Chain A
Amino acid sequence: EVQLVESGGGLVQRGGSLRLSCEGSGFSFSIYSMNWVRQAPGKGLEWISYISFSSDNIHYADSVKGRFTISRDNAKNSLYLQMDSLRAEDTAVYYCARVASPYAGMFYWGQGTLVTVSS
């Protein structure tokens, strides 16, 4: 069974940093690309970052470019999101999701982890 489990969310002050993790199991993590998607309270889904299976293709949404860094460790079946210079508007549930390519649909999602940035 494919599983994605996020961790690392919590309460952080504005301007602070947080690192999210997403561990995959039940599939060959190293051959799949991954996305981070978030949903702020009362808002819609927002894609924030993509990383290819080999980490050679990385993209960010303009809203997080320069502040967030996506990475992965295929040996640990893990995806990461380093979030720096956090703002109140970064408060959201963050999901990791598996994809076959940047153009493909996201069949599998993690349960989400809540990040709250206090001002």
Chain B
Amino acid sequence: QSVLTQPPSVSGAPGQRVTISCTGNPSNIGAGHDVHWYQHLPGTVPKLLIYANNNRPSGVPDRFSGSKSGTSASLAITGLQAEDEARYYCQSYDNSLSGLVFGGGTTLTVL
């Protein structure tokens, strides 16, 4: 059971928009800690997609965006492409655990 809750899977057709939610609690996201998002393809290294809630590292397309409100955060992907098929993880810091926490991950399928 992950501290941050994500849906196990989402799907969408090419060109569509999908969102992935990440629900925390007052000890992590609700405490004001930043949320970061990672894209992970099988056999590769996790890639930072969004940092500090809504910032994209250099090279990440603006099709990817993040938001945060209260004890939750969301990752939105617009203009879905086949190459977006991957597992996506949210991550934050938890005061009660004095450490980093990940969501369980969400598998994105492009139909």
Contacts and interface: CB of A to CB of B under 8 A. Distances in A.
Contact of A50 (B34, B87, B99, B105): B99
B99 A47 contact: yes
Interface of B is mostly: strand
Contacts of A102: 93, 99-100
Contacts of B99: 47, 50, 59-61, 102
Task: Identify the interface centre among A44, A47, A105, A107: most chain B CB within 10 Å of its CB.
Answer: A105
Nearest to B52: A105
A45 B45 contact: no
Contact of B2 (A37, A44, A59, A105): A44
A84 B57 CA distance: 36
A102 B48 CA distance: 15
A95 B40 CA distance: 13
Contacts of B105: 44-45
B45 A95 contact: yes
A104 B89 contact: no
A44 B57 contact: no
A47 B101 CA distance: 7
Contacts of B52: 104-105
Q: Is the interface of A mostly helix, strand, loop or mixed?
A: loop
A46 interface: yes
Contacts of B104: 44
Interface of B: 2, 33-34, 36, 38, 40, 45-46, 48, 50-52, 57, 87, 89, 91, 93, 97-105
17 contacts: A37-B46, A44-B2, A44-B87, A44-B89, A44-B102, A44-B104, A45-B105, A47-B101, A59-B99, A103-B33, A103-B93, A105-B48, A106-B38, A106-B48, A107-B51, A107-B57, A112-B45
Interface of A: 35, 37, 44-47, 50, 59-62, 95, 102-107, 109-112
Instruction: Give the 6 A-B residue pairs with the shortest CB-CB distance, closest first.
Output: A105-B51, A105-B36, A47-B100, A44-B105, A109-B45, A59-B99
